[in-house]
């Protein structure tokens, strides 16, 4: 079956965001779609050095075609596991763009977590109720990832910017890169790293005072504590001595490590609350 062909004479007029890729909100059928172009925003040297760095960090390639292929693969993984992600229009071809260099996504003007949880006009009780619903789905995904030994089901770029609220549910996006190892112990580590990334992002959005309440909700309503407790191990007592020393050096030398919302400080806060509950 022949693909539908799209042609845009002035694509720049539809620019939505430039963040390492180019995102365009383009007219499509009776509405809009999001055109994501993986090429062009970085130099070849940056792609190569990023790929080398990713390799040593246990992540997939930074090259444009590889990021597209990985995103497509992860969309299928998340969708097959029962989690809502953007639909793609694979029956469409965009003229003037390199093959294997772009994807066309459905456009949904939904509310992102970062905007919702930081909005003081939304009653705190409502935000907490939404967060509790998320915690159950969060844990369910983590359990599936560990059971299946599926690193692609972990949000490598975990951030409150990459979750939307739709129809009393949640939609996840941004899967250009993922972790590689399928060893169960490593997948559990990736889960804990994602937990820290999400909580770090949440801390920046809601501020320290309110963040403590969200942490308490986390330990009270995220089913089980194994992955929560493991966040401290990952950051301070990693079983791999090289990683343990690297993080110790990072804590001593990197200015970002001392920030209140750093993964180190978030893991310490989480551990303190968990220890207090166990005590």
Please state the pTM of the whole predicted model.
0.93
Confidence of residue 168 (pLDDT cuts 50, 70, 90): confident
Confidence of residue 278 (pLDDT cuts 50, 70, 90): low
The mean pLDDT value for 82-87 works out to 97
Q: What is the pLDDT of residue 45?
A: 79
Q: What is the pLDDT of residue 260?
A: 87
Q: Compute CA distances 100 → 64, 90, 215, 236, whole Å.
A: 9, 11, 42, 41
pLDDT in tens, 32-78: 999 999 987 677 778 888 888 888 888 999 888 999 999 999 999 99
The mean pLDDT value for 210-215 works out to 96
Which structural domains are found in the chain, ordered by start?
Answer: 4-106 (3.30.200), 111-278 (no CATH)
pLDDT at residue 238 above 70?
yes
The mean pLDDT value for 86-111 works out to 92
Q: Of the segments 4-18, 34-48, 208-222, which one has the largest average pLDDT value? A: 208-222
For residues 258, 275, 189, 50, the Cα torsion angle rounded to the nearest 10 degrees is: -10
DSSP output for 79-101: HHTT-EE--B-TTEEETTS-TTS
Q: What is the pLDDT of residue 99?
A: 83
pLDDT at residue 126 above 70?
yes
pLDDT at residue 1 above 70?
no
pLDDT at residue 16 above 60?
yes
Q: Which of 28-42, 116-130, 176-190 has the lowest mean pLDDT?
A: 28-42
Q: What is the pLDDT of residue 48?
A: 81
Cβ atoms of 257 and 250 within 8 Å: the answer is yes
Quote the DSSP letter at residue 224: -
The mean pLDDT value for 175-181 works out to 94
Q: What is the pLDDT of residue 205?
A: 95
Q: In angstroms, rounded to a whole number, what is the distance separating the alpha carbons of residues 117 and 161?
A: 11
For residues 192, 208, 131, 77, the Cα torsion angle rounded to the nearest 10 degrees is: -30
Of 179, 213, 214, 220, whose CA–CA distance to 199 is shortest?
214
Q: What is the pLDDT of residue 13?
A: 95
Q: In angstroms, rounded to a whole number, what is the distance separating the alpha carbons of residues 46 and 67?
A: 14
What mean pLDDT, rounded, does the chain reach? 92
Cβ atoms of 81 and 144 within 8 Å: the answer is yes
Q: What is the pLDDT of residue 279?
A: 55
Q: What is the pLDDT of residue 201?
A: 96
């Amino acid at each position: 079956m022949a693909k539908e062909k799209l042609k845009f004479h002035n694509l720049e007029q539809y620019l939505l965001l430039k963040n390492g890729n180019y995102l365009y909100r383009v007219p499509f059928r009776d509405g809009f779609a999001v055109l994501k172009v993986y090429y062009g925003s970085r130099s070849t040297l940056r792609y190569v050095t990023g790929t080398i760095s990713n390799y040593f960090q246990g992540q997939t390639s930074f090259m444009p075609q590889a990021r597209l292929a990985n995103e497509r693969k992860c969309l299928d993984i998340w969708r097959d596991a029962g989690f809502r992600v953007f639909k793609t229009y694979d029956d469409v071809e965009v003229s003037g763009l390199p093959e294997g260099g772009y994807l066309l996504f459905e456009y949904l003007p939904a509310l992102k977590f970062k905007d919702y949880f930081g909005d003081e006009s939304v009653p705190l009780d409502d935000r907490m109720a939404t967060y509790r619903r998320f915690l159950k789905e969060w844990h369910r995904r983590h359990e599936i990832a560990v059971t299946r030994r599926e690193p692609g089901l972990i949000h490598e770029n975990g951030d409150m910017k990459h979750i939307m609220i739709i129809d009393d549910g949640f939609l996840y996006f941004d899967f250009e890169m993922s972790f590689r190892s399928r060893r169960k112990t490593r997948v559990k580590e990736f889960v804990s790293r994602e937990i820290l990334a999400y909580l770090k992002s949440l801390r920046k959005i809601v501020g320290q005072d309110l963040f403590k309440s969200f942490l308490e909700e986390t330990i009270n309503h995220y089913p089980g504590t194994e992955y929560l407790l493991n966040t401290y191990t990952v950051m301070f007592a990693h079983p791999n001595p090289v990683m343990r020393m690297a993080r110790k050096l990072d804590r001593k030398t990197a200015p970002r490590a001392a920030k209140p919302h750093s993964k180190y400080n978030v893991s310490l806060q989480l551990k303190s609350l968990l220890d207090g509950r166990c005590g």
